[in-house]
């Protein structure tokens, strides 16, 4: 299967950004671990971090032509603002899992609403970088089922 991992704004600063909230692990470390997990099971994983809404949207559009089976997305602050990224995911109809490092429900009220959760296959939050690994495990299993 081919899996696309998308990281939204400010996640390039992981490791130094509010480590008490987001942990010490860096984004390259997260991506490398996910790539290794996918390739060790014979799958292909691509990832992109962007601080720009339009780049994330264009990457989602391109995913349709690349036959991406599953998207794992941490929309970061766009979670709470972006109808446009939500619409892009629905437009390509690629199933997706929403991931947040922090437990957004334990934080400010403006983080409690997501424009993505009701359209996601699943949502994982509060488990730090492990959330991405759990999402990948679920995505690979579901993609295999869909292709068999």
Catalytic site positions: 22, 100
Angle, CA of 57, 59 and 65, to the nearest 5°: 115
6 marked ligand binding residue: no
Among 73, 104, 129, 139, binds ligand DQA (CB under 6 A): 104
> Given the rule CB under 6 A, which of 33-41, 94-102, 115-123, 134-142 is the region that contacts ligand DQA?
94-102
Among 4, 34, 85, 101, binds ligand DQA (CB under 6 A): 101
> Given the rule CB under 6 A, which of 36-44, 48-56, 97-105, 135-143 is the region that contacts ligand DQA?
97-105
Binders of ligand DQA among residues 4 to 33 (CB under 6 A) are 10
Q: By CB under 6 A, tell whether 135 contacts ligand DQA.
A: no
50 marked ligand binding residue: no
Beta strands across the sheet bearing 122-125: 44-49, 2-7, 70-74, 96-100, 122-125
Question: What are the residues binding ligand DQA (CB under 6 A)?
Answer: 10, 74, 76-77, 79, 100-102, 104, 111
């Amino acid at each position: 299967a081919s899996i696309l991992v998308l990281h939204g704004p400010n996640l390039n600063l992981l490791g130094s950004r509010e480590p008490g909230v987001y942990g010490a692990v860096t984004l390259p470390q997260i991506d490398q671990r996910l790539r290794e997990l996918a390739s060790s099971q014979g799958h292909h994983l691509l990832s992109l971090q962007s601080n720009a809404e339009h780049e994330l949207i264009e990457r989602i559009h391109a995913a349709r032509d690349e036959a991406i089976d599953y998207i794992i997305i941490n929309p970061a602050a766009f979670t709470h603002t972006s109808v446009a990224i939500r619409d892009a995911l629905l437009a390509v109809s690629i199933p997706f899992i929403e991931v947040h490092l922090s437990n957004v429900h334990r934080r400010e009220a403006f983080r409690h609403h997501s424009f993505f959760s009701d359209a996601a296959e699943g949502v994982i939050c509060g488990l730090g970088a492990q959330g991405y690994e759990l999402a990948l495990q679920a995505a690979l299993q579901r993609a295999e089922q869909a292709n068999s």
